[in-house]
Structure 1
Amino acid sequence: MRADARKNRDHLLAVAGTAIAEQGVDVSLRDIARRADVGLATLLRHFPTREALLDALLHTSFNELTAKAGALETDDSPGDALVSWLRDCVGWTTEYRGAVVLMAAAIEDPKSALHTSCVTLRAAGARLLTRAQAAGMARTDIDGADLFALVEALAWLGDQRSLAPRADHLFDVVASAILTSTASSDTEGERRPRARS
């Protein structure tokens, strides 16, 4: 890709990231193009679909979360590693309002531009879960698909303005339900205070 084309693409991604963070993933592509001071055709030339735009925008974050999962696989406490990754994953998905809905759909649709990234991210979380289960620190009746579904559910809570104040507390409730009692006591000191509403 030529340097000027790369610069234009990066500019579009920066503008799209701001617009999506403010208005959610349903923000008009025309509005993103207007904010970037380009025509809609220019935006579509770089990103032919909304999902292609989101995949490009979220790709770096997906890679970072996947890499973090890999690094955490050597953590001394598999339970703490799992909860740390889960918290980061949920926190990241709430940065872009509505992204979790697209992720939930994309993981079931191999034709989606987001599918590969979502599957890779789910597999990274599944490895952390399996490691915690093998150490007796996480319940064994859930799998990577369940864990990803919990990320989606917790991120959805964070997207709801009326429920957002309770999101941290509910995260702790879910994390406690995933971990066994031994792992739960290990992470108790890291828990955030219960949100009140």
Structure 2
Amino acid sequence: MHGPTVSGWLLVTLCGGIGSYCLVRMRACAGSARGSAGSEALMGFGMAAMAVPAVVFTPPDWAWLLYTGVFGGAAIGSLRSVRRGVHQAHHLIGSLTMVYMAVSMAYPAGHVGHSTAGVPLLTGGLLAYYAVYVLRSGARLLPTAVPAGEAAPAVRWGEPPALAGACRLTMGLAMLAMLVTL
């Protein structure tokens, strides 16, 4: 990405850690939760690789084609399962956002829809989407009271309360940071 070196390394560390956690979570889940954790792991590792500061490593030109192919394939996979829920639609938007960023990095001089004044329309729309997503994800992390007489939900290993939600919130924030640098 085009941002400062320190923030790039922070994004690499954060997104790589989240990708690793999602792999662990994937082993502890089954069904659609497992697929969701796998998609989030792919997104975390992809964002970590994309955020490596250009001062340290400038990827070859073909790397952006690889990103486009991988996340284009992930978008197709998410498109098939989008009927299952809103979160799958978020995975579709996330994959398409990664494709957009890869194309923007491959052709930095002229982003799609970019004019000389202001932010490209698509980038602005994605920034707005992720800002709303981050606010909603953060609101879901706020504690809620358990009604009297009811037991708190059971906690399984690999899925501590709100940790998966915190990872989604963090990846949304990281996506915002990466979109701002486009």
TM-score (normalizing by structure 2): 0.33
| Structure number with higher relative contact order (C-alpha < 8 Å, ≥ 6 residues apart) | 2
TM-score (normalizing by structure 1): 0.31
Structure of higher CA gyration radius: 1
